[in-house]
Amino acid sequence: MLPWIKDADTIKIVPITSKIKVGDIVACYEESNSRFVAHRIIKTANNNIITKGDNCFAPDPDIKKEDLAGKVAEIYRKSVPVTFGLGTERYLIAILSRMNILQLLTRIVRKMKFIFS
């Protein structure tokens, strides 16, 4: 989920008690890799949810709501809360991710940091 969630970050996952929406970050168990993943919802259709990591080009396979482990409510980086990406901006992030623009922007910023550091 780079750039919003990094490897050393801690996330708080809560049960889904309200309607989940495009832009929400949800967690589910990935059987093929025997691990939990947290990805952003980019589309909902009927009972199916389509998620995608913010730094991935391809969406994940459809997920049923009942297969979700929960919703990411909080992100902590070195014990400090990270709020960007969980507020109203999550809708724009989901749209940019869905169109693969976010991934390109992330790569450009990384290259610029490398060039100017």
Residue 17 domain flag: yes
Residue 103: CATH number of its domain = 2.30.30
Could you tell me where the beta strands, DSSP code E, fall in the chain? 10-14, 25-30, 35-45, 48-52, 63-64, 68-77, 80-82
| Digitized pLDDT (tens) for each residue of the chain, 117 residues in all | 677 788 899 999 999 998 899 999 999 988 888 888 999 999 998 889 999 998 888 999 999 988 999 999 999 999 998 876 777 888 888 888 888 888 788 778 777 777 776
User: Where do we find the tokens 């922007």?
Assistant: 105
Residue 112 domain flag: yes
- Give residue 88's pLDDT: 80
- pTM, two decimals, is 0.77
Residue 4 domain flag: no
Structurally, the chain folds into a number of domains equal to 1
Residue 108 domain flag: yes
Residue 90 domain flag: yes
